[in-house]
Structure 1
Amino acid sequence: MKKTLIIAIAGILTFSCSKKESQKTDNNSDSTKTVDSINEARTKINDSIKALNSKNRFRDFSGSHKFVYQNDSSPKYSGSINFTKIEGERDNYTLSGDIKSGKNSVILKGFVQVLSPKSMNFTGEITQSISENDNGKSYTRKGTKTFMSKDGGKTYRLQDMVNGSGFVDYIDIHF
């Protein structure tokens, strides 16, 4: 009788153990599927957030625009300037442009961050060589400079207006 009872208990334990193992394998594959679907949903959410964070708050300035230099003793010089949107960033552009007229030149190169519909910060270099200023001596403005608009965003003017000769320069970007 004891032998039969021991055999019966061993059979029950063997049967119940093998059943649990098969259930455990099914749970692992189900949990893997669940984790994968959660990761897929998170990726979609993160992609939509990234797209929203790279969308401009202000208008798009991308493209080529008119770039103008003038001071009290010189005629107006015109050139072009190109705004290239930095991919994945909000209201940030690389900027490069120049004005060349004979021996006179103004070159802008750097980075622009639009702060409001009427204000943008430029970080980079503005190099100018104007014959009416110290006989064409080169003058470079470096660092962060502000461009402001007083006409609703049609024209932005550099606010650091005094050049190396002590004269006022008007450096404008027209949109």
Structure 2
Amino acid sequence: MKKTLIIAIVGILTFSCSKKEAEKNTEKTDSTNTVDSINTARTKINDSIKALNSKNRFRDFSGSHQFVYQNDSSPKYSGSINFTKIDGERDNYTLSGNIKSGKNSVTLKGFAQVVSAKHINFTGEITQSIVDNDNGKPYTRKGTKTFMSKDDGKTYRLQDMVNGSGFVDYIDIHF
């Protein structure tokens, strides 16, 4: 009788231990599924936040626009400038444009950030060669410059207006 009782106890312990191990594996699988579903939900939330953060605060400037140069002693010269929105960034663009008329030229290349409805900060180079200014000697403005609008965003004018000859230039972008 003792032998039968001992065998029965050993058998019960063996079955009870194996069931607990099976339950533990099921719990691990369930927790992995839970973690995966939480990560999926977080990814969706992060993607929606990223999409909102890349949405412009101000209007979209993308595309080609009129680029104009004029000073007090020269006629108005026109060309075009292209704004290309930088993917995933808010109100940031790459710019490139030029004006050519005979021996006169103005080129603009760089990065622009719209900081308000009336202000665009431009970082890059503006190079001009105008025959009326030092016989066409090239003059380059480098660094960060501001374009400002006084007509509700129809025209933005470069605020660094004095050229290398000491005369005032009007460099405008028309939208």
Q: TM-score range by the shorter chain?
A: over 0.9
Which amino acid in structure 1 is aligned with residue 52 of structure 2?
Answer: L
CA distance in 2, matches of 1:45, 1:134: 58
Q: Is 1:108 the counterpart of 2:108 in the alignment?
A: yes
CA deviation after TM superposition for structure 1 residue 2, in Å: 3.9
CA distance in 1, matches of 2:118, 2:62: 16
Which amino acid in structure 1 is aligned with residue 102 of structure 2?
Answer: G
Task: Give the corresponding residue for 1:92.
Answer: 92
Which runs of 5 or more residues in structure 1 are unaligned? Answer: none
CA distance in 2, matches of 1:9, 1:37: 42
CA deviation after TM superposition for structure 1 residue 21, in Å: 1.2
Q: Does the residue aligned with 1:47 lie in a helix, a strand or coil?
A: helix
Aligned-CA RMSD value: 0.9
Normalising to structure 2: TM-score of the pair?
Answer: 0.97
1:89-115: CA deviation from partner (whole Å, max 9, x where unpaired): 000000000000000000000000000
Which amino acid in structure 2 is aligned with residue 52 of structure 1?
Answer: L
Which runs of 5 or more residues in structure 2 are unaligned? Answer: none
CA distance in 2, matches of 1:122, 1:133: 24
CA distance in 2, matches of 1:97, 1:3: 98
Which amino acid in structure 2 is aligned with residue 33 of structure 1?
Answer: N
CA distance in 2, matches of 1:99, 1:35: 58
Task: Give the corresponding residue for 2:76.
Answer: 76
CA distance in 2, matches of 1:5, 1:142: 95
Q: How does 1:107-146 map to 2 (within 5 A)?
A: 107-146=107-146
1:20-53: CA deviation from partner (whole Å, max 9, x where unpaired): 1111121122112111111111111111011000
Q: How does 1:143-162 map to 2 (within 5 A)?
A: 143-162=143-162
CA deviation after TM superposition for structure 1 residue 13, in Å: 1.3
Q: Is 1:17 the counterpart of 2:14 in the alignment?
A: no
CA distance in 1, matches of 2:173, 2:6: 95
CA distance in 2, matches of 1:6, 1:174: 97
Task: Give the corresponding residue for 1:28.
Answer: 28
Q: Aligned residues: percent identity?
A: 87
Q: How many residues align?
A: 175
